[in-house]
């Protein structure tokens, strides 16, 4: 195959309709659209040459104008607890992170939606980077494909959470297109939307967009008064007040068998007191929900502290006694800065911080 002179289309960047138009342009039968898409997403082909149910001539024709460009230089940082942080390099050289979190009965992938974040939540490392840019839909899907490439033996992904770098609802178009591709059963990855969760810092006006996607919604509450949220999450509080956010949660078109998830980062002496728990109970009254408590994960230079286990448990107890299902999120991958709020930087002196493996692949 000859080296092309003009920039080639990345097949992964095409929507189903655009792929159909490309196929039509070649004068090929319509079913070829599904064939190519299945090669991309179900078989994770990295070259057009691999598409062996296309004739050699068709593959050559396609290669003249198109290519498959996946993320590059995947570096894997493996935590002592088995969590694996994947550092991926995008086409323009920027880097993103995606985290594989194995638990007893599940294997969750924590996916990024932006490079950096435009929000400035004071407890989150990603926020200190600022927003570099939105991810494109295929860059979001690529994280899942690359994670799958790295699974070993019996491993299968069971859950996807959009809780990596960035604010998913600030990149809703690419997020929607990515979820469409992830859930498409005919040529896509065939995920059930029930196994996918989108987390927002509180872009209240966009909650219904999540409902339309059929996936689960998580809301990072983190504060129980307007003032507390303004202090901890200034930018998002300007977009929507706590009152507006809670009203949007109450209006949320929740399917009868589902419930909302609320997340609450516990910061020692700041929002982990008994009075905070009591206000939380009042705020959530009448909402079908569960609560994930996340003890603060420290990072170099962080201004907050992690509460003691005793305080975390007593906060949880106050909620459960009031009838709220509250779970404590185990911190995973802290030694590789792979836990909640720690994405954005490769740990300094990575080799010395309990890393069991640094591997370069792709
Ligand atoms: N922007 C989205 C998703 C990314 S953050 C959101 O805010 O929901 C995913 C979760 O990690 C959020 O609930 C956030 O509040 C929490 N988080 C951020 N920094 C953290 C930290 N240092 N320790 C513990 N949890 C943190």
Beta bridge partners of 360: 75
Q: Give per-residue pLDDT as tens, 218-241.
A: 999 999 999 999 999 999 999 999
Of 110, 207, 198, nearest to 158 by C-alpha is 110
The pTM for the full model equals: 0.93
The whole-number average pLDDT for the span 105-116 is 97
Whole-angstrom Cα distance, residue 196 to residue 189?
Answer: 12
% of the chain residues with pLDDT over 70 = 91
Backbone phi and psi for residue 338, each to the nearest 5 degrees, phi listed first: -110, 5
Show the beta-strand stretches assigned E in the chain: 9-10, 66-67, 72-78, 84-89, 95-102, 107-110, 114-116, 131-134, 159-162, 196-200, 216-220, 260-266, 289-295, 325-328, 357-361
Instruction: Mark whether 61 and 85 lie in a shared domain.
Output: no
Q: Give per-residue pLDDT as tens, 263-312.
A: 999 999 999 999 999 999 999 999 999 999 999 999 888 999 999 999 99
Strands 260-266 and 216-220: parallel
Residue to substitute in 240, 265, 270, 328 for testing ligand 1 pocket (most ligand atoms within 8 angstroms of CB): 265
For residue 318, the 8-state DSSP code is H
Residues involved in catalysis: 97, 340
- 295 CA: nearest ligand 1 atom: 24
**Residue 221 is assigned to a structural domain of this protein:** yes
Total count of domains within the chain: 2
Evaluate: CB of 199 within 6 angstroms of ligand 1.
yes
Q: Which residue's CA is minimally distant from atom 3 of ligand 1?
A: 163
Q: How many angstroms is it from 256 CA to the middle of ligand 1? A: 27
Give residue 53's domain range. 9-67
Evaluate: CB of 266 within 6 angstroms of ligand 1.
no
Instruction: Mark whether 105 and 32 lie in a shared domain.
Output: no
Q: Which residue's CA is minimally distant from atom 1 of ligand 1?
A: 167
Whole-angstrom Cα distance, residue 108 to residue 88?
Answer: 18
Of 67, 91, 110, the residue at which a domain comes to its end is 67
Strands 66-67 and 9-10: parallel
Residue showing tokens 């059929």: 214
pLDDT of residue 348: 45
Instruction: Mark whether 27 and 118 lie in a shared domain.
Output: no
Q: How many angstroms is it from 69 CA to the middle of ligand 1? A: 30
- 263 CA: nearest ligand 1 atom: 13
For the cut 50, the answer to whether the pLDDT of residue 350 exceeds it is no
**Residue 362 is assigned to a structural domain of this protein:** no
| Cα-based distances in Å from 317 to 60, 242, 262, 277, 310 | 64, 24, 16, 9, 11
For the cut 50, the answer to whether the pLDDT of residue 354 exceeds it is no
Instruction: Mark whether 129 and 78 lie in a shared domain.
Output: yes
Instruction: Mark whether 102 and 87 lie in a shared domain.
Output: yes
**Residue 133 is assigned to a structural domain of this protein:** yes
For the cut 90, the answer to whether the pLDDT of residue 105 exceeds it is yes
Instruction: Mark whether 113 and 168 lie in a shared domain.
Output: yes
| Cα-based distances in Å from 286 to 83, 241, 274 | 36, 20, 21
Which residues 6+ apart lie within 8 Å of 348 measured at CB?
Answer: 300
| 3-class SS of residue 317 | helix
For the cut 70, the answer to whether the pLDDT of residue 124 exceeds it is yes
Strands 159-162 and 114-116: unpaired
CATH number at residue 38: 1.10.150.530
How far out from the chain centre does Cα 9 lie? 26
Instruction: Mark whether 43 and 124 lie in a shared domain.
Output: no
- Token representation of residue 162: 């959009």
Q: Which residue's CA is minimally distant from atom 5 of ligand 1?
A: 163
Of 23, 43, 67, the residue at which a domain comes to its end is 67
Evaluate: CB of 343 within 6 angstroms of ligand 1.
no
Residue to substitute in 197, 201, 210 for testing ligand 1 pocket (most ligand atoms within 8 angstroms of CB): 201
Instruction: Mark whether 61 and 97 lie in a shared domain.
Output: no
Backbone phi and psi for residue 261, each to the nearest 5 degrees, phi listed first: -110, 135
């Amino acid at each position: 195959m000859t080296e092309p002179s003009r920039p080639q289309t990345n097949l992964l960047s095409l929507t189903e309709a655009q792929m159909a138009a490309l196929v039509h342009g070649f004068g090929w039968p319509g079913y070829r659209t599904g064939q190519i898409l299945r090669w991309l997403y179900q078989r994770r082909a990295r070259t057009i040459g691999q598409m062996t149910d296309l004739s050699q001539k068709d593959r050559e024709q396609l290669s003249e104008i198109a290519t498959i460009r996946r993320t590059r230089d995947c570096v894997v940082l493996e935590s002592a607890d088995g969590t694996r942080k994947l550092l991926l390099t995008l086409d323009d050289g920027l880097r993103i992170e995606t985290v594989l979190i194995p638990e007893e009965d599940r294997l969750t992938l924590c996916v990024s939606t932006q490079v950096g974040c435009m929000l400035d939540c004071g407890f989150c490392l990603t926020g200190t980077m600022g927003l570099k840019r939105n991810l494109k839909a295929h860059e979001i899907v690529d994280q899942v494909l690359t994670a799958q490439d790295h699974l070993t033996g019996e491993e299968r992904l069971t859950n996807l959470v959009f809780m990596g770098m960035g604010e998913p609802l600030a990149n809703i178009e690419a997020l929607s297109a990515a979820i469409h591709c992830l859930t498409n059963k005919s040529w896509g990855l065939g995920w059930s939307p029930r196994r996918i969760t989108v987390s927002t810092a509180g872009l209240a006006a966009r909650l219904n967009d999540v409902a339309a996607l059929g996936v689960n919604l998580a809301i990072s509450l983190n504060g129980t008064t307007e003032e507390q949220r303004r202090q901890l999450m200034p930018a998002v509080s300007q977009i929507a007040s706590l009152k507006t956010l809670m009203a949007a949660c109450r209006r949320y078109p929740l399917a009868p068998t589902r419930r909302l998830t609320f997340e609450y980062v516990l910061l020692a002496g700041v929002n982990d007191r008994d009075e905070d728990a009591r206000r939380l109970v009042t705020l959530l009254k009448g909402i079908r929900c569960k609560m994930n408590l996340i003890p603060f994960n420290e990072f170099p230079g962080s201004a907050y502290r992690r509460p003691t286990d005793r305080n975390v448990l007593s906060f949880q107890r106050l909620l459960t006694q009031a009838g709220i299902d509250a779970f404590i999120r185990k911190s995973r991958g802290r030694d590789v800065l792979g836990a909640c709020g720690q994405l954005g930087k490769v740990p300094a002196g990575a080799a010395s911080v309990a890393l069991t493996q640094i591997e370069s692949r792709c």
